[in-house]
Structure 1
């Protein structure tokens, strides 16, 4: 089943509403999945629309904050696993955000039901070279990084 939503565009229902979307992440074109929580009737809340529109409006500005948060998360993970002392090819030392950009790929944007948080709520998933199985997930509240971890944080 497909719908054409005025904000999200053409969506297909697959246990939730999805569509392929092209976005630019640090100047690179990325094919990602937009996943919008919703029932089969295709009705979404004003809060979901507001969260998605705020993300898109602030996308250029947000990218820098996202990347900085992932750098900090990576360094913390690397330290927790002891790879700041013992060499591991999957967790090389990084000093710059440019090095990290080579290690991650934006995979998806999740617009969850608006019933958990009062703020505008968006999830983002990334694939990464250091943890192929779990990736990286970010939860944004009011366009600020609220939580970062494995991809399930974003869903």
Structure 2
């Protein structure tokens, strides 16, 4: 395992991916989670990835609020579908009806932040990967592109 001290990302270790730690305040909690900087075939971390992370780091509070809001709206649009997947004795625990963003606090937990490898020139992307009580198999992924939430879906959109 290779380790470096990076000017943007801090301490990183390489073991098939560059990983480190990142602090984020989200859903009323300060979370220290894994930071993954996605690279392929031994490529180095790109300038676009550095820019994406700096943008995220400088705007953590507003980006985190946007992610919270996007998750809440996503959940509200699919709540009945999620509730159908649970027995009567667990539905109100695993997929309760929530009426405010704070209601999501016990339903999702941030697992990691991923600085995505750029596929399109100039596109800066950060992924938030969550475990979700209402979807324990597929969890939840939020893709932030150029500082704004682009997509909320299962984790699959950010894995790989």
Structures share fold, TM-score greater than 0.5: yes
Distance 1:108 1:81 in 2: 23
Does residue 47 (structure 1) correspond to residue 51 (structure 2)? The answer is no
2:103 maps to what in 1? 99
**Any stretches of 5+ residues in structure 2 without a counterpart?**
none
Contact (CA 8 Å) 1:31, 1:107: kept in 2 or not?
no
Q: Compared with structure 1, are the counterparts of its residues 138 and 100 closer, same or farther at alpha carbon in structure 2 (3 Å cutoff)?
A: same
2:6 maps to what in 1? 5
Deviation string 1:83-137 (CA, Å, 9 cap, x unpaired) is: 4xx9633211110111112211111111121124642111110112111221110
**Any stretches of 5+ residues in structure 1 without a counterpart?**
none
TM-score calculated relative to the size of structure 2: 0.84
- Aligned-CA RMSD value: 2.2
Deviation string 1:57-104 (CA, Å, 9 cap, x unpaired) is: 111112221111101111222234564xx9633211110111112211
Contact (CA 8 Å) 1:3, 1:42: kept in 2 or not?
no
Runs of 4+ in structure 1 over 4 Å off: 39-42
Distance 2:11 2:119 in 1: 24
Structure 1 residues 86-95 or 137-146, which shifts more?
86-95
TM-score calculated relative to the size of structure 1: 0.87
When the two structures are aligned, how many residues end up with a matched partner? Answer: 153
Does residue 143 (structure 1) correspond to residue 147 (structure 2)? The answer is yes
